[in-house]
Amino acid sequence: MRILLVEDDKMIGDAMQSALKDVAYAVDWICDGEAALHSLRCQQYDVVLLDLGLPKLDGLQVMQYIRAQHPALAVIILTARDSLEDRVKGLDLGADDYLVKPFDITELLARIRAVTRRNANQHTSELTNNIVWLNPATHEAKTLTQDNILLSNREFALLQTLLIRPGSIHSKSDLEERIYGWGEEVESNAVEFLIHCLRKKLGTETIKNVRGVGWMVSKNAPVIR
């Protein structure tokens, strides 16, 4: 999953980028509002973490742009502005959540998981197509025949991308964008290797190859578990 972090405080930004990468999110860190708009025009994101007190363009203006151009994009406002008026304004402009600084990174991660579930129309803590289940909090997967399958960070990121939209085909470049942030080196066969590893752990039919197009997991199957 790819996240746009818009934060002008270097110490906070460094800490958040490191923590998000540690749990397998691809993170692009931007320090001002105008650069955020440019990034949103050039790159597709799953979640935006948006500070309000930004140079060049205020975060609330960035929020207005996002809702006008990307109405389904999940946005969590992260700010030191803790007045009721600011919280109401941010939520009225379309933010999915609002977190006041200082905050614990574990709470932020939980809120990211929550908005991701909502966007995927999932009602439990797990992402699933009723063939494979993925727990974003523990990075463990399970199938109809196996439980507690521990995944590497990259394996988790790839499977999460597929399970957010079951039935959708993802190209190699799309999966690379969801797994790797700016400046991260990507081996030419990285995606193929990760899919090979996931199939060994979860079963060969879990991830389907659409020849010449990409990969997918099946749409939600009837619940038989």
Q: What is the pLDDT of residue 186?
A: 77
* Residue whose structure tokens are 């309000």: 52
Domains of the chain, residue spans: 2-119, 127-216
Please list the alpha-helical segments (H only) found in 93-133: 105-119
Residue 171: is it exposed, middle or buried by C-beta count within 10 angstroms (0-12/13-18/19+)? middle
Q: What is the pLDDT of residue 124?
A: 60
By DSSP bridging, strand 26-30 and strand 149-150 are unpaired
> What's the CA dihedral at 61, 63, 67, 71 to 10 degrees?
160
CATH of 127-216 among 3.40.50.620, 3.60.110.10, 1.10.10.10, 3.40.190.10: 1.10.10.10
Q: Please list, residue by residue across 154-166, b when 16 or more beta carbons sit within 10 angstroms of its beta carbon and e when fewer do.
A: bbbbbbbbbbbbb
Q: What is the pLDDT of residue 222?
A: 52
* Residue whose structure tokens are 């959540």: 97
Q: What is the pLDDT of residue 136?
A: 85
Closest C-alpha to 89, from 64, 125, 68:
64
Q: What is the pLDDT of residue 123?
A: 55
Q: What is the pLDDT of residue 164?
A: 87
Omega cis (within 30) before 102: yes
Q: What is the pLDDT of residue 122?
A: 59
DSSP 170: B
Closest C-alpha to 49, from 83, 22, 17:
17
Q: Find all residues with CB under 8 Å of 175, minimum gap 6, and list them.
A: 158, 161, 191, 214, 215
- pLDDT averaged per 10 residues, the chain (length 225): 94 93 90 95 92 91 92 90 79 89 91 82 74 89 91 91 91 88 79 94 92 89 50
Class of domain 2-119: alpha beta
By DSSP bridging, strand 74-79 and strand 26-30 are unpaired
